[in-house]
Amino acid sequence: MADGKEWKCQVIILEHNFKRIKSNSRRGTKCWECNSERDYNCRDPFNFTHFPLVDCDRKSAHNTYLQSYSVCRKIVHRVNGEAHVERSCAWEQAYDNNRPCSSARSTSYSTVEHCSTCNTDACNDGLVIKPGFSSLPMTLMAYLGAKYI
């Protein structure tokens, strides 16, 4: 059976994760929006200092067609052998099989090499972070606090 310190540690971890989930559901997803055909800084490696984050949900509020939840999208395509990167907001329908990457199609002059979506702020920068990574420091602090206090 868990002693008082272990119980307190578990409560702190659960409380932290609940607050994180609650805060993410209250606010809109913010994504990078740019196209390397117009601005070289949009290419990989991404220089995000040149671009503001766009609130995708605020953007969709102006368009009644976009009545689904927002995600960030990154598309890499080749045009005449040269890689181009597009970062943007996209929308997924919970009840629809059409995914945001389904609109990224190859044409006679452009080939899609990569398309991915994610649903956390600024996640379309190209860096890969495992889900839940931000919980690690808090979990470690709670564990050490319970063990040594």
pLDDT digits (tens, 9 = 90+) for 61-94: 666 565 578 899 999 999 988 999 999 999 886 6
Residue 131: CB partners within 8 Å, gap ≥ 6? none
**Assigned architecture for domain 24-126:** Ribbon (2.10)
Provide the β-strand partners of residue 91.
70
pLDDT at 28: 77
SS3 144: helix
pLDDT digits (tens, 9 = 90+) for 88-130: 999 886 655 557 787 777 888 889 999 999 999 999 997 644 3
**The token pair that represents 116 in the structure block:** 């991915």
Number of H helices, E strands in the chain: 3, 6
Examine residue 137 and say whether the peptide bond preceding it is cis (omega within 30 degrees of 0).
Answer: no
The count of other CB atoms within 10 Å of the CB of residue 8 is 15
Every domain of the chain and the residues it spans: 24-126
Decide: 29 and 70 in contact? Cβ < 8 Å: yes
The count of other CB atoms within 10 Å of the CB of residue 40 is 10
pLDDT at 50: 92
Amino acid at 144: L
Phi and psi at residue 102, in whole multiples of 5°? -65, -25
